[in-house]
């Protein structure tokens, strides 16, 4: 190691530290933005150090540098444009697209390392193993993330796409990918073998994510994020670059933890989600509620809800997927602001999987100017329900199903919001259709619950108007 390489190593260490400190600062909303900026500074340092090192040590050919510059310009323009214009409801798709491009960039680097080494001496195992793993993981991430983004965007059907023998086909493709991977590592240089790994991995990514239900999206996006991190770390092993290894490992850890947390919050095992088949919310949901259940439902009008809210002292809003789907975050914030202006305490009880990616509901509410102090996490919210006059459930179902406390059903053991502990419950929902778990929710037939059957956006507007009339009368 020359003195110069040592200096670059120190700079890598500095940027890695900035990544860690930056992520650390993301644990509080007040410091999070600066944390992200710190991480960006670390990124600039790592990239500049690499550029200087590459120019001084290898030099390289000018055509390659032109190709890099052109590529970076194209990519940067696309990335910044999408980042600036994306709607907050569409952030999960964008994150998925960034996973795709990150994973494929890592795969391209590994592929180039493999090809460029062919002319020189044969690859050592310490290089060929990470190269093959990188191509494998990176390609799965690329195609899988694009399919996930397509599902989130609604271009590809959200329900699991399976066909007779699809599992067998998956197993067959996986076997070819693995076989080609082992062969590419063990046999002398053979670009064709690596191409087989690339293509089969791409197919595998498509098949795997197609078979996963749209409702599992929060888990899938986190999982693909973890895989991208791993692919980048593998690229780091292949080209012996510590910045890539450290950053890749950090992201791999982040994605893995979130994946596990989300799976737990949805009462699913990660394995059952990947294997697919259970995420069939669309089909089981058609079962419909029993007739005697419907008889017990108390239906409300927006005026009834307005009166109930105006007389309350403590209101907890439970926003669910239906709120995000109706894009009603601004309407709910308006209603909350109106109630708060009349000295009613309003908070939001947010389930970890509300929305389409982990923490998505918080972002949507933040967009509608809701201060983060009003957003309660699961534990804080459940402590608050006991003292709550009205729980206003909007487009949420399984996340507040009291049956989760009983054994033997699809939501057993799932962490839920204790909306049924409130003195009264109002549910805004389009119909009695069961949620993603496909079972009925006894909260809806509880005597203290009233149902307002309407689209979330329209219902909230009507309630706001009614509250205004009521309090000014």
Q: Report the residue from 11, 202, 211, 243 that binds another protein according to the rule CB under 8 A.
A: 243
Which of 177, 155, 137, 161 lies closest to 210, judged by CA?
161
Q: Report the residue from 209, 211, 217, 250 that binds another protein according to the rule CB under 8 A.
A: 250
CB nearer another protein, residue 215 or residue 258: 258
Per-residue b/e over 41-50, b at no fewer than 16 CB within 10 Å?
ebbebbeebb
Q: How far is the CB of 234 from another protein (least distance, A)?
A: 10
Q: Are 394 and 319 in contact (CB under 8 A)?
A: yes
**Residue with the two structure tokens 């790592």:** 46
Residues numbered 124-163 forming contacts with another protein, rule: CB under 8 A: 126
d(CA 123, CA 460) in angstroms, rounded, equals 64
Interface with another protein by CB under 8 A: which range of 165-173, 240-248, 285-293, 403-411? Answer: 240-248
d(CA 437, CA 425) in angstroms, rounded, equals 21
Tell me whether strands 375-376 and 345-349 are parallel, antiparallel or unpaired: parallel
Q: How far is the CB of 325 from another protein (least distance, A)?
A: 17
Q: How far is the CB of 191 from another protein (least distance, A)?
A: 9
Q: Report the residue from 150, 255, 322, 435 that binds another protein according to the rule CB under 8 A.
A: 255
**Residue with the two structure tokens 């040592």:** 6
Residues numbered 91-120 forming contacts with another protein, rule: CB under 8 A: 91, 94-95, 98-99, 101-102, 104-106, 108-109, 111-113, 115-116
* Site for another protein contains 10 (CB under 8 A): no
CB nearer another protein, residue 64 or residue 187: 64
Active-site residue (options: 398, 403, 418, 462): 398
Q: How far is the CB of 98 from another protein (least distance, A)?
A: 5
Which of 389, 400, 394, 396 lies closest to 345, judged by CA?
389
Interface with another protein by CB under 8 A: which range of 81-89, 271-279, 433-441, 444-452? Answer: 81-89
Residues numbered 14-73 forming contacts with another protein, rule: CB under 8 A: 16, 19-20, 22-24, 26-27, 29-30, 32-33, 35-37, 39-40, 43, 46-47, 50-51, 54-55, 57-61, 63-65, 67-73
Residues numbered 362-401 forming contacts with another protein, rule: CB under 8 A: 362-363, 366-367, 369, 371-373, 375, 377-378
CB nearer another protein, residue 114 or residue 444: 114
DSSP string of 277-297?
SS--HHHHGGG---HHHHHTP
Residues numbered 286-305 forming contacts with another protein, rule: CB under 8 A: none
Q: How far is the CB of 164 from another protein (least distance, A)?
A: 36
Q: How far is the CB of 408 from another protein (least distance, A)?
A: 28
d(CA 447, CA 296) in angstroms, rounded, equals 8
Per-residue b/e over 67-92, b at no fewer than 16 CB within 10 Å?
eeeeeeeeeeeeeeeeeeeeeebebb
Residue length of the chain: 473
Question: Has 398 been annotated as catalytic?
Answer: yes
Interface with another protein by CB under 8 A: which range of 90-98, 284-292, 426-434, 441-449? Answer: 90-98
DSSP string of 89-122?
GGHHHHHHHHHHHHHHHHHHHHHHHHHHHHTSSP
d(CA 267, CA 261) in angstroms, rounded, equals 10
Q: Report the residue from 135, 237, 263, 316 that binds another protein according to the rule CB under 8 A.
A: 237
Interface with another protein by CB under 8 A: which range of 174-182, 361-369, 397-405, 439-447? Answer: 361-369
d(CA 194, CA 111) in angstroms, rounded, equals 8
CB nearer another protein, residue 208 or residue 232: 232
Residues numbered 425-454 forming contacts with another protein, rule: CB under 8 A: none
d(CA 272, CA 262) in angstroms, rounded, equals 13
CA distances from 278 to 120, 161, 307, 357, 417 (A): 50, 12, 42, 19, 23
Count of chain residues binding another protein (CB under 8 A): 131
Residues numbered 157-216 forming contacts with another protein, rule: CB under 8 A: none
Q: Report the residue from 225, 329, 382, 440 that binds another protein according to the rule CB under 8 A.
A: 225
- The catalytic site residues sit at 398
């Amino acid at each position: 190691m020359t003195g110069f390489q040592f200096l670059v190593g120190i700079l890598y260490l500095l940027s890695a530290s900035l990544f860690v400190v930056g992520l650390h600062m993301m644990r509080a909303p007040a410091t999070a933005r600066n944390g992200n900026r710190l991480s960006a500074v670390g990124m600039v340092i790592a990239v500049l150090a690499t550029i200087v090192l590459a120019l001084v040590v290898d030099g390289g050919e000018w055509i390659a540098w032109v190709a890099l510059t052109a590529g970076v310009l194209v990519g940067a323009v696309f990335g910044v444009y999408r980042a600036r214009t994306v709607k907050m409801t569409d952030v999960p798709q964008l994150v998925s697209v960034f996973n795709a491009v990150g994973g494929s960039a890592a795969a391209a680097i590994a592929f180039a390392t493999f090809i460029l080494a062919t002319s020189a001496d044969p690859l050592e195992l310490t290089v060929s193993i990470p190269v093959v793993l990188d191509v494998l993981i990176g390609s799965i991430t690329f195609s899988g993330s694009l399919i996930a983004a397509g599902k989130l965007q609604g271009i590809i059907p959200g329900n699991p796409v399976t066909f007779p023998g699809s599992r067998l086909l998956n197993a067959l493709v996986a076997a070819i990918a693995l076989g080609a991977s082992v062969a590419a590592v063990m046999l002398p240089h053979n670009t064709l073998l690596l191409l087989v790994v690339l293509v089969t991995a791409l197919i595998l990514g498509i098949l795997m994510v197609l078979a996963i239900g749209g409702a599992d999206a929060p888990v899938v996006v986190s999982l693909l994020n973890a895989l991208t991190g791993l692919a980048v770390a593998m690229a780091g092993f292949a080209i012996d670059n510590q910045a890539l290894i450290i950053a890749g490992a950090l992201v791999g850890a982040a994605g893995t933890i979130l994946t596990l947390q989300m799976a737990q919050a949805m009462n699913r095992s990660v394995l059952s989600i990947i294997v697919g088949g259970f995420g069939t919310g669309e089909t089981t949901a058609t079962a419909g509620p029993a007739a005697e259940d419907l008889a017990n439902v108390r239906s409300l009008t927006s005026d009834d809800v307005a009166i109930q809210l105006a007389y309350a002292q403590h209101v907890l809003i439970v926003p669910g997927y239906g709120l995000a789907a109706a894009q009603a975050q601004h309407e709910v914030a308006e209603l909350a602001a109106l109630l708060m202006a009349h000295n009613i305490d309003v908070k939001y009880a947010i389930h970890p999987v509300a929305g389409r990616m982990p923490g998505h509901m918080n972002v949507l509410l933040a967009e509608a100017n809701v201060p983060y102090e009003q957003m309660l996490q699961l534990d804080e919210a459940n402590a608050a329900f006991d003292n709550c006059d009205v729980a206003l459930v909007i487009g949420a179902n399984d996340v507040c199903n009291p049956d989760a406390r009983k054994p033997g059903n699809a939501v057993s053991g799932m962490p839920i919001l204790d909306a049924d502990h409130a003195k009264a419950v109002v549910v805004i929902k389009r119909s009695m259709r069961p949620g993603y778990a496909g079972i009925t929710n006894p909260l809806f037939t509880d005597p203290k619950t009233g149902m307002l059957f309407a689209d979330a956006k329209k219902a909230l507007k009507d309630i706001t108007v009614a509250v205004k009339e009521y309090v000014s009368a």
